[in-house]
């Protein structure tokens, strides 16, 4: 197949957005008060009443789906809320952006992202359970949201790249490898050692609008090799992964965010890859890094 470049706002480079503010939404006092009132009175019929902020969140959804694919909402008043209320706020806000998707076999609507002491190299360790570095990856549903309650003492920086821009760079510089992106690859769900944990899917899939959906996760591609009957990476696949890891580490592509308390990061998994640096936590349990993760269908 002939692989061509993809156009549109999702194919941004870091220099185009690094100094701009249009991807950040700062909540004013009125919006914060609206969130606090909704958190303290409850969601009622299952959805936060946000008369003023609701339209803003619908615009956020448009930017995720039809724009660059990422938005940082700043100023969620997490410092004035209990942990349970923060959970309700995360669910209430993101419920205006998309449909919340249950996570894992227990069907929880959100995950607590914090270091549990899990071994990053463990065969079934998930990314939200440890403090190690995460390679650039996409999550399995349309969008992922991260609400920061507390940052780490140091590290834990979030970086994103446009997977569309990375795709186009591969097409321009290595058209021979671009075709490998569209071939089946083995992936690991890390749900166990049984066959249900392993499946095949291309890294890149054409979208009906002419775009491309990029599903990548180097840690989960490499751990898939533990599966019975899963073949080793081909030389071309190994070269593709080396190239993708090199491009995502290139400052031309990467935009880094230091998430602070009250920051709500929303990413379109089809067109954005994200990573996290390793981090060091505070010794006090109540000060340790803590984020809430939600998956959305848009």
Q: Is this structure's pTM higher than 0.85? A: yes
Stretch 95-121: mean pLDDT: 90
- Cα dist from 256 to 84, 241, 251, 274, 276, whole Å: 29, 21, 9, 10, 9
pLDDT at 124: 67
Q: How far apart are CA 87 and CA 64, in angstroms?
A: 22
pLDDT at 231: 96
- Cα dist from 146 to 19, 28, 90, 190, whole Å: 22, 20, 9, 21
In this predicted structure, the answer to whether residue 43 has a pLDDT above a threshold of 60 is no
pLDDT at 238: 97
CB neighbours of 233 closer than 8 A, spacing ≥ 6?
221, 225, 241
What percentage of the chain exceeds 70 in pLDDT?
96
pLDDT (tens digit per residue) in 184-231:
999 998 888 888 889 999 999 999 988 999 999 999 999 999 999 999
Q: How far apart are CA 18 and CA 10, in angstroms?
A: 15
pLDDT (tens digit per residue) in 121-143:
676 677 778 888 999 999 999 99
In this predicted structure, the answer to whether residue 85 has a pLDDT above a threshold of 90 is yes
Q: Could you tell me the domains of the chain?
A: 14-162+254-297 (3.60.130.10), 163-248 (no CATH)
Q: Rounded mean pLDDT of the chain?
A: 93
The neighbour count for residue 58, using CB atoms within 10 Å, is 11
* Residue 261 pLDDT class (50, 70, 90 cuts): very high
pLDDT at 5: 96
Element (H, E) at 135: strand 134-137
Stretch 38-60: mean pLDDT: 81
pLDDT at 131: 82
């Amino acid at each position: 197949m002939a692989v061509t470049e993809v156009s549109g706002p999702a194919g941004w480079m870091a220099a185009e957005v690094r100094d701009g503010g249009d991807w950040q939404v700062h909540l004013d006092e009125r919006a914060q008060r609206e969130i606090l009132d909704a958190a303290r009175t409850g969601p009622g019929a299952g959805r936060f009443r946000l008369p003023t902020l609701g339209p803003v969140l619908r615009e956020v959804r448009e930017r995720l789906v039809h724009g660059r694919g990422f938005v940082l909402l700043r100023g969620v008043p997490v410092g004035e809320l209990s942990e349970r209320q923060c959970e309700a706020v995360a669910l209430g806000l993101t419920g205006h952006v998309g449909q919340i998707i249950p996570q894992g076999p227990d069907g929880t609507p959100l995950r607590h992202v914090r270091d549990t002491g899990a071994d990053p190299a463990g065969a079934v360790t998930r990314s939200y359970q440890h403090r190690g570095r995460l390679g650039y990856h996409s999550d399995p549903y349309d969008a992922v949201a991260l609400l920061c309650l507390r940052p780490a003492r140091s590290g834990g920086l979030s970086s994103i790249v446009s997977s569309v821009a990375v795709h186009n760079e591969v097409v321009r510089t290595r058209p021979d490898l671009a075709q490998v992106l569209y071939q089946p690859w083995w992936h690991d769900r890390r749900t166990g050692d049984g066959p249900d944990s392993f499946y095949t899917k291309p890294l890149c899939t054409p979208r009906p609008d002419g775009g491309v959906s990029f599903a990548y996760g180097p840690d989960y591609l490499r751990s898939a090799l533990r599966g019975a009957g899963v073949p080793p990476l081909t030389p071309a696949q190994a070269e593709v992964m080396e190239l993708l890891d090199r491009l995502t580490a290139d400052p031309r592509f990467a935009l880094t965010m230091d998430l602070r308390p009250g920051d709500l990061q929303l990413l379109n998994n089809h067109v954005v890859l994200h990573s996290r640096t390793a981090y060091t936590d505070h010794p006090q349990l109540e000060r340790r890094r803590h984020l809430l993760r939600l998956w959305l269908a848009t």
